């Protein structure tokens, strides 16, 4: 913290001195437009929900490669490592499985263990990233509990344009991007190609495994648009992603893992009149992952596969009654299948849905948004997700806003149909719906020592996890270019799905299954400020305070049922309520400070970004099953990134940067921070 | 700092032999004994093979303990509880069928209570169970009985707030809090200690030497 402060002070002084020398012309902030919050184009600054936009300019001057690079620098967002180098995103203290990730408004799939790995997503063709926090199931259905992250790809520009971008850096990481854009009259074609490879890295050299094994991947994205006339517009887009990575399980087991993903997106838009427009959308995506391990002698030890398909037709219509009142409604159908190793069946989900939303200015100062969505489902109970949001302008500079919404996450295929037995250790994990058939079978085979939870408890359906999210905020936008926003949030989550032991096996291991148990809440405060000091200098900072608790745990602490020991040989003592720290992997404090500066005479732009995360716990280390203040914690840390880019001859740009300037690493606890990364970049535009 | 290695030996105010008055037929109760045992070694053969991680058959003699004696014992009959590796058995009930289990001749039993040692003020006989063919009174396995196993650093730690309440072979009660599973009860278990110095029990106990008396105060 101290080092961070010192550096930031020094840099700030430097910039302040520098800007004084310049003629500080204050300019109005461009009005940023966001589509994710309402599914209609809205001015970001007038929105009643907490939302944020990351511009392509910020992405480019940060020299980010993948989505995780840039999201990690945003207030209240943190990427959490998964096995094998993948990373998911935590929003308002909710796990990555509760945040919906969209590309151009349609969802990404492939959450084999709940986490959607956002390192899959290249950022070289992104126009902006839109982040809406708080439950948004009223528009998007399942998974949108914590929020929605929507990646908006570049729009076509007139003429023939393109760019080539190459970056090389530490760990033999190379990244190649190529964008080609053509637009003439009614037709446009865009393609984006990305090749990203790395030798990976190893934080712990004592074992046979690398922290991240070498990998290589390709992304190909093409978009075609055609304007039949002023009113009718067609978009056809396709994306293909393919990744190959070495897979090492031990010194004697090695193989490969592959991911292949494609998606196709067709959208037809027609405007009937000033009041009516309609959209027809067809989206299909498949995510396939497979891996194998071989013994040293080359014989196959294990294979696994995961093959998910989502098909979604949707039509929606907007009706604009007048300048102050508009409606959007939609109807659609989700069809989802999964083939996977260790599944009792090849399940199929079918889920029709309908939604409607009203957006109106009740008075010139009061904006009200009311919406709701109904999701029917063939495997669990229907979900009704309402949402209300309002914003009131107290003055030209000051506004208050609030929203309340319902969010849910349907039980995933794994929680219902998994039937997995660990080959080396011998424990078994059963999906909720798999229990009824699998337990009698295991019993017949004489594998069950005793049943702890009777099968009859699995006759009811597993409930979707659901939450009520409340946000209340104040925005202050001063004419000097200084902006402040504060948002208080609370998410009450019920029916959280967890695993429990349902039977003991004769081999001494347990059988686990899923059940609705936990009630948790996350609450806190988010503060953001940005100051456009001059046209060329922008400073922004953010802070999130977070409390994330399990309600049952609070009860256990209140009842005095939780004990700890001071060291490895001391007697137990009873913990107090204040000793409960909260959920795992949640930091009480997170903050960031960023500076973007362009020095026009030299055609240079630089950025300096720092993020701080306070201490957090990964596991219970003192045997009481709760995270308390006597547990071992991962120490808080600061990561500082620096980038500088210079443009030559208008079309050429050279870049240099150092991510993680001070080479922060925690090999024991943090697998997704590789240490210092030095890189160079060349960008050519044509 | 929490190693109470002092032995609080109790003075018997009036001994039986000095009761010369025949009219006084209510014997003065014996005083409660509070004690700390260190480095009770409970070796075993077999278990998890450190090289392969595969479980091997466990064998070897149990280390027996006698609350009345306040110490280890080699007696085949006068023992209350016995230790081998992380397993604790009682002198009561029947054999689970493990190799080298001693014969049970007593009426002992046990249960696991929640609390600190001083929280448990009386024994509850209705909770007492005995070893059986189904399993031991002190259930084995991480998180089930007295300990939690941490696979990350391969250590066994007493689960906080777990107090073992025993009925002795001859119908007396004792409560036990295990403090350490490692030699000399180190305050920190280093990887070296985890490998070389395990199966040394240190524990605090309170023994109620009066037959059938439930109170520990």
User: Is the pLDDT confidence value at A522 over 70?
Assistant: yes
Residue A627 with chain B: CB contacts under 8 Å: none
Q: Tell me what pLDDT residue B195 has.
A: 86
Q: What is the 3-state secondary structure (H, E, C) of B184-213?
A: CCCCCCCHHHHHHCEEEEEEEEEEECCCCC
Question: Residue B63 has what pLDDT?
Answer: 95
Which among B119, B157, B177 has CB closest to A568? B157
Q: What percent of chain A has pLDDT over 90?
A: 64
Query: What's the domain range around A296?
Result: 31-156+179-532
Which residue do the tokens 């437009």 mark?
A33
Q: Is A567 a domain residue? A: no
In a domain, A537, yes or no: no
Say if A646 falls within a structural domain. Answer: no
Give, as one character, the DSSP assignment of residue A70: H
pLDDT, tens digit, 9 for 90 and up, residues B173-215: 999 999 999 999 999 888 889 888 999 999 999 999 999 899 9
In the A/B pair of chains, how many CB contacts fall below 8 A? 74
Summarize pLDDT for A225-251 with one digit per residue, the tens: 999 999 999 999 999 999 999 998 888
Q: Which pLDDT belongs to residue B49? A: 61
State pLDDT tens for residues A147-190: 999 999 999 999 999 999 999 999 999 999 999 999 999 999 99
Structural domain contains residue A167? no
Tell which B residues from 123 to 142 touch A, by Cβ distance under 8 Å: 141
- Helix (H) or strand (E) holding A9, with range, is helix A2-21
Nearest-CA residue of chain A relative to B139?
A508
Report the residue of A500, A569, A619 to disrupt the B interface, i.e. the one with the largest count of B CBs within 10 Å. A569
Least confident of A256-260, A535-539, B138-142: B138-142
Contacts of A623 in chain B (CB under 8 A): 143, 147-148, 157-160
Nearest CA to A613 among A668, A554, A523, A673?
Answer: A673
- Is A346 within a domain? yes
CB A685 within 8 A of CB A649: no
Across A415-429, average pLDDT = 83
Nearest to B161 among A567, A570, A572 (CB): A572
Domain assignment present for A109: yes
Measure the CA–CA gap between A132 and A49, rounded to whole angstroms.
7
Number of other residues whose CB lies within 10 A of the CB of residue B133: 9
**Predicted confidence band of residue B53 (pLDDT cuts 50, 70, 90):** low
Q: Is B97 on the interface with A (CB under 8 A)?
A: no
Confidence of residue B54 (pLDDT cuts 50, 70, 90): low
**Nearest-CA neighbor of A242 among A283, A173, A289?**
A289
pLDDT at A516: 86
* B2-27 pLDDT per residue, tens: 344 444 434 333 344 444 455 556 67
Interchain CB contact of B188 with A (< 8 Å): yes
- Percentage of the residues of chain B whose pLDDT score is greater than 90: 59
Q: Evaluate whether residue A405 is within a structural domain.
A: yes
What confidence tier does A24 reach under pLDDT thresholds 50, 70, 90?
very low
CATH code for the domain in which residue A100 is found: 2.40.170.20
Phi, psi of A408 (to 5 degrees): -145, 160
- Mean pLDDT (whole number) for A665-682: 91
Task: Reply yes or no on whether the pLDDT at A333 is more than 50.
Answer: yes
Q: Is the pTM of this model over 0.90?
A: no
Whether B151 contacts chain A with CB within 8 A: no
At residue B143 the predicted structure's pLDDT band, cuts being 50, 70 and 90, is: confident
Assign B57 a pLDDT band (cuts: 50, 70, 90).
confident
Which positions 6-65 of B are in contact with A (Cβ < 8 Å)?
53, 55
Residue A217 CA to its chain's centroid (Å):
20
Q: How confident is the model at residue A557 (pLDDT cuts 50, 70, 90)?
A: very high
Using CB atoms within 10 Å of the CB of residue A574, give its burial: 0 to 12 exposed, 13 to 18 middle, 19+ buried: middle
Question: What pLDDT is recorded for position A83?
Answer: 58
Task: Give the C-alpha distances (Å, rounded to integers) separating A356 from A390, A401, A592.
Answer: 17, 21, 37
Minimal CA separation from B55 to chain A, in Å = 10
The answer, for B1 touching chain A at a CB cutoff of 8 Å, is: yes
Q: What's the pLDDT at A5?
A: 54
A5, containing H or E segment: helix A2-21
Q: How many domains does chain A have?
A: 1
- Does the distance separating the beta carbons of B117 and A623 come in below 8 Å? no
Q: How many CA atoms lie within 13 A of B71 on its CB side?
A: 6
Distance (Å, rounded) from C-alpha A586 to C-alpha A315? Answer: 39
pLDDT value at residue A661? 94
Token look-up 């609390």 returns B115
Place of tokens 């400073």: A539
Chain B residues closer than 8 Å to A619 by CB: 152
Q: If you average pLDDT over residues A407-423, what whole number do you get?
A: 87
Residue A438 falls inside a structural domain: yes
Cβ separation of B157 and A623 shorter than 8 Å? Answer: yes
Query: A625 contacts in B (CB within 8 Å)?
Result: 143
Instruction: Name every chain B residue with its beta carbon within 8 A of the beta carbon of A671.
Output: none
């Amino acid at each position: 913290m101290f080092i961070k402060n010192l550096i930031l002070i020094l840099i700030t002084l430097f910039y302040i001195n520098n800007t004084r020398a310049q003629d500080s012309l204050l300019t109005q902030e461009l009005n940023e437009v966001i589509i994710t919050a309402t599914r209609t184009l809205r001015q970001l600054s007038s929105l009643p929900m907490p939302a944020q936009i990351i511009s392509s300019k910020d992405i480019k001057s940060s020299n980010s490669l993948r989505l995780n690079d840039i999201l990690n620098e945003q207030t209240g967002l943190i990427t959490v490592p998964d096995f094998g180098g993948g990373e998911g995103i935590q929003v308002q203290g909710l796990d990555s499985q509760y945040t919906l990730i969209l590309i151009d408004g349609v969802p990404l799939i492939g959450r084999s263990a709940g986490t959607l790995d956002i390192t899959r997503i290249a950022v070289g063709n992104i126009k902006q990233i839109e982040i809406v926090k708080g439950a948004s199931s009223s528009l998007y259905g399942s998974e949108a509990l914590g929020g929605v992250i929507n990646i908006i790809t570049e729009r076509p520009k007139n003429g023939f344009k393109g760019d080539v971008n190459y970056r090389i850096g530490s760990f033999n990481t190379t990244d190649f991007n190529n964008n080609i854009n053509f637009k003439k009259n009614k037709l446009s074609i865009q393609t984006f190609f990305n090749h990203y490879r790395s030798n990976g890295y190893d934080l712990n050299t004592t074992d046979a495994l690398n922290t991240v094994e070498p990998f290589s991947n390709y992304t190909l994205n093409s978009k075609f648009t055609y304007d039949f006339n002023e009113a009718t517009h067609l978009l056809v887009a396709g994306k293909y992603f393919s990744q190959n990575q070495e897979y090492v399980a031990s010194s004697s087991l090695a193989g490969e893992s592959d991911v292949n993903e494609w998606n196709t997106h067709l959208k037809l838009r027609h405007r009937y009149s000033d009041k009516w427009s309609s959209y027809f959308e067809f989206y299909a995506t498949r995510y396939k992952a497979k891996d194998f391990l071989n013994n040293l002698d080359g014989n196959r030890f294990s294979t696994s596969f995961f093959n998910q398909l989502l098909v979604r037709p949707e039509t929606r219509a907007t009706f604009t009654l007048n300048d102050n009142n508009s409606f959007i409604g939609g109807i659609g159908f989700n069809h989802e299948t999964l083939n996977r190793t260790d599944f009792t069946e090849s399940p199929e989900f079918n889920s029709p849905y309908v939604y409607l939303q009203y957006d109106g200015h009740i008075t010139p100062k009061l904006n009200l948004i009311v919406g709701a969505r109904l999701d029917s489902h063939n495997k669990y109970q229907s979900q009704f997700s309402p949402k209300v949001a309002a914003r009131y302008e107290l003055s030209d500079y000051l506004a208050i806003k609030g929203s309340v919404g319902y969010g849910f996450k349907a039980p995933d295929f794994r929680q219902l149909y998994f039937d997995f037995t660990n080959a080396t250790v011998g424990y078994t994990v059963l999906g909720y719906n798999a229990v009824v058939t699998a337990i009698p079978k295991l019993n017949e085979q004489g594998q069950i020592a005793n049943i702890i939870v009777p099968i009859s408890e699995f006759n009811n359906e597993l409930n979707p996890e659901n939450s009520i999210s409340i946000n209340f905020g104040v925005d202050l936008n001063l004419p000097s270019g200084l902006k402040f926003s504060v948002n208080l949030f609370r998410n009450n989550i019920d029916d959280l799905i967890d695993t429990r032991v349902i039977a003991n096996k004769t081999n001494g291991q347990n059988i686990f299954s899923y059940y609705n148990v936990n009630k948790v809440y996350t609450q806190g405060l988010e503060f953001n400020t940005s100051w456009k000091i001059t046209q060329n200098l922008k400073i922004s900072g953010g802070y999130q305070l977070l409390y994330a608790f399990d309600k049952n745990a609070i009860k256990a602490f209140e009842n005095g049922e939780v004990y700890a020991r001071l060291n490895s040989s001391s007697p137990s003592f009873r913990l107090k309520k204040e000793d409960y720290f909260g959920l795992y992997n949640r930091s009480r404090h997170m903050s960031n400070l960023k500076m973007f500066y362009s020095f026009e005479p030299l055609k240079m732009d630089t950025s300096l970004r720092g993020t701080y995360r306070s201490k957090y716990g990964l596991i219970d280390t003192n045997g009481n099953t709760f995270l308390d203040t006597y547990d071992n914690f991962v120490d808080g840390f600061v990561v500082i990134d620096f980038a500088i880019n210079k443009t030559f001859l208008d079309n050429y740009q050279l870049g240099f940067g150092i991510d993680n300037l001070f080479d922060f690493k925690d090999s024991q606890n943090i697998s997704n921070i590789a240490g210092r990364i030095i890189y160079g970049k060349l960008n050519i535009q044509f | 700092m929490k190693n109470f290695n002092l032995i609080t030996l109790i003075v018997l105010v009036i001994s039986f032999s000095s009761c010369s008055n025949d009219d006084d037929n209510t014997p003065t109760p014996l005083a409660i004994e509070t004690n700390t045992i260190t480095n009770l070694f409970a070796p075993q053969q077999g278990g998890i093979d450190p090289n392969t991680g595969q479980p091997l058959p466990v064998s070897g003699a149990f280390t027996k303990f006698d609350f009345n004696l306040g110490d280890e014992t080699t007696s085949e009959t006068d023992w209350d509880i016995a230790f081998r590796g992380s397993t604790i058995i009682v002198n009561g009930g029947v054999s689970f069928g493990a190799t080298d289990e001693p014969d049970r001749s007593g009426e002992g039993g046990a249960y696991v209570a929640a609390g600190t040692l001083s929280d448990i003020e009386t024994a509850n006989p209705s909770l007492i169970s005995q070893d059986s063919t189904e399993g031991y009174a002190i259930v084995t396995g991480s998180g089930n009985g007295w300990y939690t196993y941490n696979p990350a650093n391969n250590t066994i730690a007493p689960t906080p707030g777990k107090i073992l309440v025993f009925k002795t072979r001859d119908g007396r009660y004792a409560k036990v809090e295990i403090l350490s599973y490692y030699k000399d009860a180190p305050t920190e278990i280093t990887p070296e200690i985890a490998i070389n110095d395990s199966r040394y029990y240190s524990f605090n106990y309170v023994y109620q030497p009066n037959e059938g008396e439930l109170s520990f105060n």
